[in-house]
Chain A
Amino acid sequence: MFNSIQKISGDRLSKIYISSLFTGLEAFAAALPYGIVYFVIMDLIRGNPFNNIIWKISLILAMLFFRYGFALKSQGGMMSASYEVTGRIRIRMGEHLRQLPMSFFAGRDLGRLSNYLLQDTKLIDFTFSHILVRAVYAGFFTIVISIILIMIEWQLLLPLLLVVPFALPLFFIGQNSVKKIGGMRLDIIDRADSAVLEYVQGIQVMKSHDMVGKKNRKLHVLFKELLKQSLKLEGVSFASAISFAVIMEIGYVLLIFYGGYLIAQNKLDPLVFLLFLVIALRLYAPIFELYKCSSLLRYMRNAGERVEEVIREEPQSYHPENHPIRNFDILFSGVGFRYDKRSTLDDINLTIPNGKMTALVGPSGSGKTTIMNLITRLWEIQDGTIEVGGVDISAISPERLLSHISIVFQDVYLFNDTVRNNIAIGKSNPSNKEIVRAAKAAQCHQFISELPMGYDTVIGEGGKSLSGGEKQRISIARAILKDAPIILLDEATASLDPENEACIQKAIDNLLQTKTVVVIAHRLNTIAGADQIVVMDRGKIVQRGTHDSLIKIEGLYRRLWKEQQRVQGWKLKRKGNNPS
Chain B
Amino acid sequence: MFNRVFSRYETILSLLQGHRGKLLASLLFAVTSGFVSLIPFLIVYRMAGHIESGTIGKEIFFQLALFTLIAVVARYGLFYISTMLAHLAAFTLNCELKSDIVTHMGELNLGYFDKKTSGAIKKSLGEDIDNLELFIAHHLPDTMVAVSISAIVFITLLIVDIRLAIAAFLSLPFSIYMQSLAKREYMDNAGDYHDNQEKMNSIIVEYIKGMPIIKTFNLNVRSFHRFIEAVETHIRLAAEIVKKVTPFQAFFRTGIDSGLLFIVAAGSWLFLIDEISFPTLVLFILIGNSFAGPFHEISMTTALLENITEGARRISHHLETPGLKESTQPRIPGSADIEFKKVSFSFGDNRVLRNISFSVKEGDLCALVGPSGAGKTTATLLASRFWDVEQGEITIGGVDIRDIPQQKLMEMVSFVFQDVFLINGTILENICMGNTEISEDDAILAAKQAMADDFISRLEHGYHTTIGEKGTFLSGGEKQRIAIARAIAKNSPIVILDEATAFTDPENEIKIQEALNRLLVGRTVIVIAHKLHTIMEADKILVFEKGAITGQGSHACLLEENSLYGRMWQEHTKANSWLLAGRRGNHV
Check B216 against A574 for contact (C-beta < 8 Å): no
Closest to B112 in A: A203
When the two chains form the complex, which single residue of B125, B247, B477, B584 contacts A364, counting CB atoms closer than 8 Å? B477
Rounded to whole angstroms, the CA-CA distance of A197 and B125 in the bound complex is 9
Contacts A80-B239, A529-B581 given: A231-B258 contact, CB under 8 Å?
A: no
When the two chains form the complex, which single residue of A205, A219, A281, A525 contacts B102, counting CB atoms closer than 8 Å? A219
Check B215 against A238 for contact (C-beta < 8 Å): no
Contacts A90-B204, A203-B113, A234-B87 given: A529-B584 contact, CB under 8 Å?
A: yes
Question: Chain B interface mostly helix, strand, loop or mixed?
Answer: helix
Contacts A210-B434, A270-B51, A529-B579 given: A573-B537 contact, CB under 8 Å?
A: yes
Residues of chain A contacted by B98 (CB below 8 angstroms): 196, 219, 223
Check B227 against A94 for contact (C-beta < 8 Å): yes
Residues of chain A contacted by B572 (CB below 8 angstroms): 498
Check B212 against A413 for contact (C-beta < 8 Å): yes
Closest to A269 in B: B51
B31 contacts chain A at the CB level, 8 A cutoff:
no
B44 to chain A, nearest CB (A): 5
When the two chains form the complex, which single residue of A33, A198, A220, A260 contacts B424, counting CB atoms closer than 8 Å? A198
Residues of chain A contacted by B582 (CB below 8 angstroms): 508-510, 512-513
B347 contacts chain A at the CB level, 8 A cutoff:
no
Which of B142-150, B260-268, B337-345, B440-448 sits within the interface?
A: B260-268
When the two chains form the complex, which single residue of A118, A259, A568 contacts B576, counting CB atoms closer than 8 Å? A568
B463-487 contact mask (Cβ, 8 Å, vs A): 1 or 0: 0000001001101010000000010
Contacts A211-B434, A253-B69, A574-B365 given: A198-B235 contact, CB under 8 Å?
A: no
Number of residues on chain B facing chain A (CB within 8 A): 171
By size class, the interface of chain A is: 35 or more
Contacts A33-B260, A505-B575 given: A274-B44 contact, CB under 8 Å?
A: yes
B352 contacts chain A at the CB level, 8 A cutoff:
no
Check A513 against B535 for contact (C-beta < 8 Å): no
Check B580 against A491 for contact (C-beta < 8 Å): yes
Residues of chain B contacted by A505 (CB below 8 angstroms): 575, 578, 580
Check B282 against A196 for contact (C-beta < 8 Å): no
A308 contacts chain B at the CB level, 8 A cutoff:
no
When the two chains form the complex, which single residue of A64, A259, A495 contacts B254, counting CB atoms closer than 8 Å? A64
A95 to chain B, nearest CB (A): 5
List which A533-580 residues lie within 8 A (CB) of chain B. Answer: 563, 566-574, 576-579
A498 to chain B, nearest CB (A): 4
Check B583 against A363 for contact (C-beta < 8 Å): no
A38 to chain B, nearest CB (A): 10
Rounded to whole angstroms, the CA-CA distance of A163 and B268 in the bound complex is 36
Rounded to whole angstroms, the CA-CA distance of A257 and B580 in the bound complex is 96
A252 contacts chain B at the CB level, 8 A cutoff:
yes
B220 to chain A, nearest CB (A): 6
Rounded to whole angstroms, the CA-CA distance of A235 and B87 in the bound complex is 9
A202 contacts chain B at the CB level, 8 A cutoff:
yes
B557 contacts chain A at the CB level, 8 A cutoff:
no
Residues of chain A contacted by B507 (CB below 8 angstroms): 363-364, 522
Rounded to whole angstroms, the CA-CA distance of A524 and B581 in the bound complex is 12
Check B121 against A256 for contact (C-beta < 8 Å): no
Question: Chain A interface mostly helix, strand, loop or mixed?
Answer: helix
Closest to A400 in B: B218
Contacts A90-B231, A200-B125, A256-B64 given: A357-B581 contact, CB under 8 Å?
A: yes
Rounded to whole angstroms, the CA-CA distance of A227 and B214 in the bound complex is 42
When the two chains form the complex, which single residue of B64, B250, B264 contacts A60, counting CB atoms closer than 8 Å? B264
Check A200 against B113 for contact (C-beta < 8 Å): yes
When the two chains form the complex, which single residue of A250, A461, A571 contacts B537, counting CB atoms closer than 8 Å? A571
A322 contacts chain B at the CB level, 8 A cutoff:
no
Rounded to whole angstroms, the CA-CA distance of A482 and B219 in the bound complex is 13
Residues of chain A contacted by B189 (CB below 8 angstroms): none
Closest to B282 in A: A278
Check B122 against A200 for contact (C-beta < 8 Å): yes
Check B527 against A527 for contact (C-beta < 8 Å): no
Check B216 against A376 for contact (C-beta < 8 Å): yes
When the two chains form the complex, which single residue of A98, A211, A220 contacts B221, counting CB atoms closer than 8 Å? A98
Residues of chain B contacted by A491 (CB below 8 angstroms): 580
Check B209 against A572 for contact (C-beta < 8 Å): no
B32 to chain A, nearest CB (A): 15
Check A572 against B51 for contact (C-beta < 8 Å): no
When the two chains form the complex, which single residue of A194, A257, A495 contacts B65, counting CB atoms closer than 8 Å? A257
Contacts A238-B84, A407-B216 given: A572-B205 contact, CB under 8 Å?
A: no
B190 contacts chain A at the CB level, 8 A cutoff:
no
Check B254 against A71 for contact (C-beta < 8 Å): yes
B234 contacts chain A at the CB level, 8 A cutoff:
yes
Check A196 against B578 for contact (C-beta < 8 Å): no
8 contacts between A and B (CB under 8 A): A76-B242, A79-B238, A208-B384, A220-B102, A461-B209, A508-B580, A509-B583, A572-B538
Question: 13 additional contacts, CB 8 Å, given A33-B260, A573-B538?
Answer: A75-B242, A83-B242, A111-B205, A196-B102, A196-B126, A197-B122, A200-B118, A204-B386, A215-B106, A278-B44, A365-B475, A413-B212, A570-B533
Q: Which 5 A-B pairs have the closest CB atoms?
A: A260-B61, A509-B582, A212-B106, A522-B506, A529-B581
